[in-house]
Amino acid sequence: MTENNRDELKGKVLHLADLVEYQEGAVASRMIVNKPVGTITLFSFDEDEGLSEHTAPYDAVVTILDGECEVWLSGETHMMNAGDTIIFPANAPHALSAVTRFKMMLVMIRA
């Protein structure tokens, strides 16, 4: 998505889950804010899709918008549903997997 397309979202009431579509057998994403201090990206995960364990150099906030997923953070497992939020501390190992199709918002803070 180009910066102009992101600008079209500004000043409007948005239903975030509607801004990214499910894709069969895949993970899809759409960045809606991209600034030097951080990003906001929406993701959709088809059932049984996920992200393998990794770390990020910045704090990240994940909010589930639709569906259900399992999150692993520093060795602990968390079941998450629409409306739930978790904060991944910088450099903490984490992963996630779709229990059902789900959508999430990722807010990455760089500063």
Domain with residue 7: its CATH number is 2.60.120.10
Question: Rounded CA gap, 62 and 95, in Å?
Answer: 12
Element spanning 4, H or E: helix 3-7
Decide: 29 and 60 in contact? Cβ < 8 Å. Answer: no
Q: What is the model's pLDDT at position 111? A: 78
Amino acid (1-letter code) at residue 106: L
pLDDT computed for residue 7 by the predictor: 87
Statement: residue 18 has pLDDT above 70 = yes
What is residue 3's predicted lDDT score, i.e. its pLDDT?
Answer: 61
Domain of residue 50, residue span: 3-109
Question: Would you state the torsion angle of the CA atoms of residues 48, 69, 57, 14, taken in this order, to the nearest 10 degrees?
Answer: 110
Give pTM, 2 decimals: 0.91
Residue 1 has a pLDDT of: 47
If one compares 7 and 30, the residue with the highest pLDDT of the two is 30
Overall domain count for the chain: 1
pLDDT by residue (tens digit) across 43-99?
Answer: 999 999 999 999 999 999 999 999 999 999 999 999 999 999 999 999 999 999 999
What pLDDT, on the 0 to 100 scale, is given for residue 2? 56
